[in-house]
Amino acid sequence: EVQLLESGGGLVQPGGSLRLSCAASGFTFSSYAMSWVRQAPGKGLEWVSAISGSGGSTYYADSVKGRFTISRDNSKNTLYLQMNSLRAEDTAVYYCAKDYGDYEFGWYFDLWGRGTLVTVSS
Amino acid sequence: EIVLTQSPATLSLSPGERATLSCRASQSVSSYLAWYQQKPGQAPRLLIYDASNRATGIPARFSGSGSGTDFTLTISSLEPEDFAVYYCQQRSNWPLFGPGTKVDIK
């Protein structure tokens, strides 16, 4: 079955760190760019970061640049998001999302996980 | 920086009616626009990409049109499962989503 499954969310204090994981199955993981997209409670969607299939290219939204790091392990079919210096405004459901085509970056997302909730609060 | 505006914010319709949703970009995004559907507690689902191409498995009642700055998602006849929030997304530079249109039952 083609699916993405996120894990690693939880409650963290401001200034703290958290690492999210996304396990992929049912498709050739290394052939596709992957992204993290977040959604604050009751709000819209915000793209956070993307990584190419090889892992050689990465991009970040200005709101997380310098604090978050995206990476992937193609041998384990797993995507990661290391989040440091967390702020209250980072509170959101974090989705991993697969790029729709086998380009370096297609920038549309045709497969999403169920999401993992990150809450930043003291 | 490109800004996406969606209208209306809420669309109240009955099953079987036609839904017309608008997405406007502050500058041209060519045809680099997608539409997603999101139901409560679920992840978004890709409906349309490159303005008018239906994604795999999407019913024919969903169609997209437009280019440049003005785009439309049309649902020809609303089914009960179509009541949801719809987001447009441009990829002309970084991925950017619009604020969404909620289609609810009248």
Task: State whether A110 and B87 contact (CB < 8 Å).
Answer: no
Contact A113 B99 (CB under 8 A): no
Contact between B94 and A45 using a beta-carbon 8 Å cutoff: no
Is 80 exceeded by the pLDDT of residue B24? yes
Q: Which residues are registered as beta bridge partners of A22?
A: A6, A79
pLDDT 10s digits, A26-40: 999 999 999 999 999
Q: What is the pLDDT, as a whole number, of residue B92?
A: 84
For an interface test with A, the pick among B33, B39, B46, B50 (most A C-beta atoms closer than 10 Å) comes out as B46
pLDDT tens, position by position, B54-89 = 999 999 999 999 999 999 999 999 999 999 999 999
Average pLDDT, chain B: 97
Q: Is the pLDDT of residue B40 over 90?
A: yes
Dump strand ranges (E) for B3-100.
4-7, 10-13, 19-25, 33-38, 45-49, 53-54, 62-67, 70-75, 85-90, 96-97
For A9-23, A62-76, A81-95, A96-110, which range has the lowest pLDDT when averaged over its residues?
A: A96-110
Q: How many CB pairs under 8 A join A and B?
A: 50
SS3 B68: coil
Summarize the confidence of residues A105-116 as an average pLDDT.
96
Q: Is the pLDDT of residue A102 over 80?
A: no
Chain B residue whose CA is closest to A114: B43
CA distance B78 to chain A (A): 22
Q: Is the pLDDT of residue A80 over 90?
A: yes
Instruction: Please answer yes or no on whether A44 and B46 come within 8 Å at the CB atom.
Output: no
Looking at residue B33, its amino acid is: L
Kindly identify which residue of chain A lies nearest to residue B57, measuring between CA atoms.
Answer: A110
pLDDT classification of A106: cutoffs 50, 70, 90: confident
Which residues does chain A have within 8 Å of residue B34's beta carbon, measured at their own beta carbons?
108
Cβ of B87 and A45 within 8 Å? yes
CB contact under 8 A, B99 and A47: no
